[in-house]
Structure 1
Amino acid sequence: MARILIAVDGSSPSQRALEFGASLAAKLGVGVLLLHAMPQVVLPLGPMTPGSLSELLHTLEGEGNRLLAALADKAHPYGVAVGTELGVGDAADVISERAEGADIQMVVMGSRGQGAVARLLLGSVATQVVHTATKPVVVVR
């Protein structure tokens, strides 16, 4: 089944991307895949027990899955099939790699609206995805 990948992070721009992407999917008769990129855990220099690392990973995964479930509930009223995936790693890499799937027709994601200096110094996930994804990318403001 053809789908629109909608990158979500819980922010206002990603909420607008969800609304736009789900509405577009309904008009095109395709489904949506909500993708949330969970940051990769970097171990601290201090002591950390295996149990505390496991708890941290479990907490992050739980938060990501709760976010996806809540946003899937917001997408269902558009009458489209909704799938969810939780990726791990750099958000731009996770989004671009998943967009390569044969089931994905396009990517829809929000823009944080950073100024030019912030974009230059920090980069932008949306900018990176626009430059690395091989599928069409729609950035919603």
Structure 2
Amino acid sequence: MASQLKLEIVTPEGVTTSEMVDYVTLPGVEGEMGIYPMHVPLMTQIVAGEIVVRKGGEEYLLAVGDGFVEITADHVSVLTDMAIKANDIDEAKAEEARRRAEARLQEKLSQEELAAAQAALARSAALLQVKKHSKRT
């Protein structure tokens, strides 16, 4: 029986994470998903939010954008538009991005512009949430 999972996170910039981990939580469209080794195979969508990774008794957080995840008994593959570790988040820039996205939502927008502004707001909210949670630990 597998005791660890291979976690791979891929963004448009390339592979941001590729390591063996004990446990992963993901922000799924239906809610938070906890993934242990020997999980049932699954492919689903993820939403902007927080990934918690447990490895060797330590935990770290990542902010992720919308994307997809494929889960097998020993592998978690995430394809997303953003994945940033909590320590790498610039809180001031994330707050400014949130303010810009909220201001943009007040304008008269096409459907495409509205979707882009909502996605930007979700990504900045995820960054701020992860940064806030990482300060507590």
TM-score range relative to shorter protein: under 0.3
The alignment's TM-score, normalised by the length of structure 2, stands at: 0.27
| Higher share of residues assigned strand | 2
